[in-house]
Structures are given as C-alpha cells and as structure tokens.
A and B are shown apart, each in its own frame.
Chain A
Amino acid sequence: GAGVSQSPRYKVAKRGQDVALRCDPISGHVSLFWYQQALGQGPEFLTYFQNEAQLDKSGLPSDRFFAERPEGSVSTLKIQRTQQEDSAVYLCASSFVRGGAPHIWMNTEAFFGQGTRLTVV
C-alpha cells in the first residue's frame, strides 16, 4: 500500500491479557516511531527504530511494553498483562529521515498510520 498500515484498527482486551499491535511502514522508510495518544491529549513518544535497531525506548511506560522491528520493515508493539491505563490509540509513523541529520527534517515529514484503538476492560 501507499501509506503506513496498522492492524488491528480496534482491539478490546481483558485486563491481564497480552496484545500485539502491528505496523507496516512505507516501503524504504528508515525511521519508525510508536506513539501513544490518550483521549484529548497529543501523541506521546514511546520508541524509535532506525532500520532494525531500536535506538530510543525512553518513552515506553513500563517493562510490560516491548517493541521490535527484526528485519527493518514491519514493527510490532507488544503489551503484556494489559491494564486499564493502557487504553489509548497507538500510532505508528515512518519517515525516510535517518537519525542524526536534523537539517533533513525541515523538508520531510513523518507519515502516520490510522492507529490501533486499544480498549482494556
């Protein structure tokens, strides 16, 4: 497809259940980001990949959150033992910008997927 694809679009999980959220970035995009967006808030940074390397995971809220991008394309965000506070929209974004070259950002953008709306009941 032409854009960033995320699946599933909606996920309802029982508290304590593990979930896996998938992101298919735009082909050839080096950088991949995961964000968490709570209702009425802006997206909050979770983690950043450059190809298969997870260079920044400072935004992951707890060790229940784990992300991977083993072949440098598709990424999976896994949440173990889900809690009600994990309910949010999880957004994936990709860009061809390579980290460490800030001047390139001025003429590029991060493309977002439509997100996965996770509801923990």
Chain B
Amino acid sequence: RKEVEQDPGPFNVPEGATVAFNCTYSNSASQSFFWYRQDCRKEPKLLMSVYSSGNEDGRFTAQLNRASQYISLLIRDSKLSDSATYLCVVNHYSYNTDKLIFGTGTRLQVFP
C-alpha cells in the first residue's frame, strides 16, 4: 500500500464547476501537508500548504483531518487553466532528515 493514496481520475468537469479531490496518508507521524500542481511534462509546483484549521486561497480550499488521516482540495468555479495533475504531498521527518512523500496525483480536465 502506498503511503499517500489518491484517486488518479481523470476528473472531467465543465468550466464553472466545483470539484473536490481527496487524499489519505498512512503515516500518522506526518507533520506537514501540501497540494502541488503538475502540468503535463512540467515540474511540480506548490499550490498551497494545508493547515489543521483548513485554509483558503482564492478559489481553492484545503482541509486536513488528522484523526482520519485525510486531506482534501476543493476547487470552485473551475477554469480551463486549472487542467493539470494535483499531487497530494505529506512530509515527515526523523532525526535530521526530511522527506516529501507524493501521491500518484489526480488528473483534472476542465472543458469549455
């Protein structure tokens, strides 16, 4: 079982739709959580960090449930430019080492 699990999709949604992605992680020692975005044949880029209290950045809302080890990303009013793969990422560390662990990614395709 992978440490970070995501539905690979694809999610095909019309412009203006609201779409939600979910992610679960298996290591309860994970401390930090992120969503990264990766466009086709490009490198991953940070979309937003995920805080325990939940956080919002424009049309994007991220939620964290530590008890259920579950992370979500909600995108409102989808744009064509939102089409990409969304990677759920967790970080956990042991003495003097850090790892960012990536999920497989969820592919989103927004159509006109």
Contact = CB atoms under 8 A, between A and B. Distances in A.
A56 B99 contact: yes
A43 B97 contact: no
A109 B98 contact: no
Contact of A31 (B31, B34, B92, B98): B98
Nearest to B85: A42
Contacts, number: 73
Contacts of B99: 33, 45, 48, 56
Interface of B: 4, 6, 8, 31-32, 34, 42-46, 49, 51, 87, 91-93, 95-105
Given A100-B93, A112-B44, A114-B43, 18 more contacts: A31-B98, A33-B100, A43-B87, A45-B102, A50-B96, A55-B97, A93-B100, A97-B98, A99-B93, A99-B96, A99-B97, A100-B96, A102-B31, A102-B92, A105-B49, A105-B91, A109-B46, A115-B43
